[in-house]
Amino acid sequence: MQELIIHEVGPRDGLQVEKQPVPFEHKVAWVESLGAAGVDIIQLGSFVNPEKVPQMADTDRLFAHFSAPGKRPGKAVLSGLVLNERGLERGMACGVEMFCMGVSASETHSRKNTGMSPHEALARIIPMATQAMAAGKKVQVSVQSAFGCGFEGPIPTDRVLGLVKQYLAAGVSAISLADTAGHANPMQVEELFGAIRALDPNVEMTAHFHNTYGLGLANCWAALRSGVRSLESAFGGLGGCPFTKQPAGNVSTEDLVHSLQRMGLRRDIDLGKLLEVARAVGAFFGRELPGFVLKSGSIVDYKPAGN
């Protein structure tokens, strides 16, 4: 399963709820180490209003820095989250290689997150995705709150699939389901991704889980069993959507990679370097991070296969 993609979202989703500002130089150092570890995609930030999410105020500068000759972090693709046309414009100008954009399946979460209904957001996201693809950019669209919402509870499957069908009809085949509230369970994960695969067997499926109720890694495995080939995670297990009812951290990147490597997968990634990043981030914030391997230690060899 070498083709399994690890999409590190720590610099964006991991940091966006943190109140203590992270200096630009620290972010650069952490991203450089993530690239050296061998993750496939790094989400440097989101193009949002810095008054609402101050931690993302230097997103344009980060992309400009890592887009400069000789500055790329390893072989990683540089991804960024955009919510509107202005964000897309900013991303185009500073070197985003992969645009991530999406619509919440929850009316309440959608309005808190974007100020729009899901229908209104979709009417803007699809033209944005089409524009970015026409410019030669990678595009991944998502359905947020796909497995449940802290405000509304269960989300009907038909509502999620309805959004997916509209993405597919628009020619966007890279689709992520985001468990924004952390409500997913493995059986639900297999059923929902299975339903998407039935719509289009060639769809490129990504999963994004939060560990609110401790099922993050179990849900990752269920997603892999369902044909998902890209997983999003964050260093140290940091993160959470500031506009959901109960923000909680992402699946920890080092926990995810440790689990995969115990099964003989992605042994090319340097787990030791990932743990170094998590330690540095924890030291900066002055607290213990949620990641488990960071506390318990690894039972797999740190050294990447082939080195």
- Residues acting as catalytic residues: 241
CA–CA separation, 164 and 143 (whole Å): 7
Using alpha carbons, select from 307, 222, 233 the residue that is nearest to residue 277: 233
Which residues, at least 6 apart from 167, have a Cβ–Cβ distance to it below 8 Å? 126, 129, 141, 175
One-letter amino acid identity for 101? Answer: M
Q: How far is CA 66 from the centre of its chain?
A: 19
Rounded Cα distance between 101 and 144, Å, is 10
Torsion over CA: 103, 150, 278, 294 (sign): negative
Cβ 5 vs Cβ 39: under 8 Å: no
C-alpha 92: how far from chain center: 20
- Rounded to whole angstroms, how far apart are CA atoms 217 and 252? 9
β-bridge partners, 138 = 98
Q: At what angle do helices 24-37 and 59-67 cross, to 10 degrees?
A: 50
Distance separating alpha carbons of residues 290 and 81, to the nearest angstrom: 24
